[in-house]
A and B are shown apart, each in its own frame.
Chain A
Amino acid sequence: AQSVTQLDSHVSVSEGTPVLLRCNYSSSYSPSLFWYVQHPNKGLQLLLKYTSAATLVKGINGFEAEFKKSETSFHLTKPSAHMSDAAEYFCVVSEVQTGANNLFFGTGTRLTVIP
C-alpha cells in the first residue's frame, strides 16, 4: 500500500532564501513520485516527477527533488524563493509495478514567501 507524508503543513521563507518542502513515502513496489503545485482556486500543475531514472530530478521554475530510497524521502528544494512560489505543494506517489494509475496525495504544504 502506498502513502505519503508531508511533514510540514506550512512553511514560511523570505524571498531569496532556500526552500525545503519535506516528503516521505511508503510503497510496496517501485514508486513513481511527483510534486504538484496548486495556486488558489486552480488545478494542479506538475513541477517534477521521478520514475526510476536519475535520483536527482530537476523540474520547472528552478525546483528540484532528490529520491532517496534509503530514507524513503523525496524532498523538494529551490535555491532561492520567489514571491510567485507562494502556493500549496503536494507530494504524490503512484505505484509503477502494479500498473496502477491512481495517485496518492500528501496532505499538502502551504508555502508562504515573505518579501
Chain B
Amino acid sequence: GAVVSQHPSRVICKSGTSVKIECRSLDFQATTMFWYRQFPKKSLMLMATSNEGSKATYEQGVEKDKFLINHASLTLSTLTVTSAHPEDSSFYICSALRTGQPQHFGDGTRLSIL
C-alpha cells in the first residue's frame, strides 16, 4: 500500500489565492522530504529539499517566498504556493526518504489556477 500520502490530489482556485499541499509519510519517519514540479509531458524538476526542523534547501531558480515549505514534524511536510497565478499551474509531487530505501513518492497534486 501507499507509504506516502499527498493531499489534495487536485485543486482549482482563483488567481491570487494561496494553496497548501500536504505530504505525509504514513508508517515511517522521514527527516527528509522532497518537492518536485512536473510540467505537461515533461520530467520531474526538483524544487526543494525539506528537512525536519530546519529551513528547506531550494534549487536554483525556485522562489522561496513563492513556494513556502514547512517540515514541522517527522511525518509531514507542506508546500504552500503563495499568491498563485496561472503560470504556477502544474503537477506537484512530493517524496519521502526512508532509511536504506529509495525515495517513496506521493500520488501528486494537480494545481490549476484560473
Q: Is the CB of B102 within 8 A of A46?
A: yes
* Nearest residue, chain A, Cβ from B94: A43
Write the residues of chain B forming the contact surface with A, with a CB cutoff of 8 angstroms. Answer: 4, 6, 9, 32, 34, 41-46, 49, 91, 93, 95, 97, 102-103, 105-108, 110
Q: How many contacts A-B (CB < 8 Å)? A: 46
| A34 at the binding interface (Cβ < 8 Å) | yes
Cβ 8 A contact of A90, one of B34, B41, B44: B44
Tell me the complex Cα distance, A105–B42, Å: 10
Roughly how many angstroms separate A18 CA and B59 CA in the complex, as a whole number?
39
- Is B105 a contact of A103 with CB atoms below 8 Å? no
CB nearest to B97 among chain A residues: A101
Does residue A49 face the partner (Cβ distance < 8 Å to B)?
A: yes
On chain B, the residues within 8 Å of A108 by CB distance are 41-43
Q: Which residues of A contact B108 (CB under 8 A)?
A: 41-43
Are the C-beta atoms of A41 and B46 separated by less than 8 Å?
no
* A77 CB–B CB distance under 8 Å: no
Once the chains are docked, how many angstroms separate the CA of A101 from the CA of B100? 11
Shortest CB-to-CB span from B52 to chain A, Å, is 14
User: Whole-angstrom distance from the CB of B4 to the nearest CB of chain A?
Assistant: 8
